[in-house]
Amino acid sequence: PLPDFDAQIEVLLAEEVPVVSTSFGGLREIYAEKFEARGAVMMGAATCLREAKVLRSAGCQAIVMQGAEAGGPRLNFEVTDDQSLIGLSALIGPAARATKRLVVASGGIMTGAQMAASLLAGAGAAMVGTLLLRTPESAAHPMHKDILQYMSDTSLELTSVFSGRLTRVVPNGLVQAMKDAGLRSAQYPAHLRVMRPILKAALAQDRDDLIEMGAGQGACYAPFGSTRAIIEKLSGECRQLLA
């Protein structure tokens, strides 16, 4: 079963968490008002201008714009998967102008130059994920970390095999087998419930042909090193370009 959402909310309120980030839409008014009363900053993720406006209406002070380049699941909630695949550079400016909120650029940011371009386009901050996949602090499976260095710019695929949501991943035997069999994924989260025990067992047995290995575009450039060193290098390059 999925976690009890109301119970999760109560824990966040009790702990006075300063920043609350949601996916697949904003919080309902009854929850948003409680966080606002406590001075918490609310963030939400959007894949298009329509979703960004919905999050603005839901009280989000910051909006993470997920470009098509991003790894992991697509976070769309108002549009179809195909409609959600908009490049990051085309999202940032319109979202910032339309919502008048802090826009956080997300998706395929691997260099200081890409980060600087996002800030110049109108973002107030940037979020990275794939860039840090190979760090010691990353919880990714060692096989996941290792395989990234062998990827090319065309290696990654979009699939719904693992959870029922469209996800950018490193393709493996499971992805290919599902395609060869012509099988379609069920809807999320029903499909995830079916797959979860399979994925858990695959991780325990080090089965790289079965585990989910999400990654964004540019994954082949993910460096090995500490999170601190990588972030310092990224921000340093960005500051130098914007100086």
β-strand partners of 92: none
Amino acid of residue 85: L
Give the pLDDT confidence score for residue 2 in this predicted structure: 74
What angle, rounded to 10 degrees, do the helices at 227-242 and 112-121 form?
A: 50
Question: Which pLDDT does position 71 carry in this prediction?
Answer: 97
Q: What is the dihedral of CA 19, 20, 25, 26, to 10 degrees?
A: -80
DSSP 8-class letter at 174:
H
Token pair for residue 164? Answer: 């029922």
pLDDT tens digits, the chain, 243 residues: what are they? 678 999 999 999 999 999 999 999 999 999 999 999 999 999 999 999 999 999 999 999 999 999 999 999 999 999 999 999 999 999 999 999 999 999 999 999 999 999 999 999 999 999 999 999 999 999 999 999 999 999 999 999 999 999 999 999 999 999 999 999 999 999 999 999 999 999 999 999 999 999 999 999 999 999 999 999 999 999 999 999 999
pLDDT of residue 3: 84
List residues bridging with 45 in a β-sheet: 64
Lookup: tokens for 158: 């979009």
Q: What is the DSSP string of 194-213?
A: HHHHHHHHHHHTT-TTTS--
Q: What's the confidence (pLDDT) of residue 243?
A: 95
CA separation for the pair 122, 107 (Å, rounded): 15
8-134+223-242 is a CATH 3.40.50.1820 domain: no
Residue extents of the structural domains in the chain? 8-134+223-242, 142-204
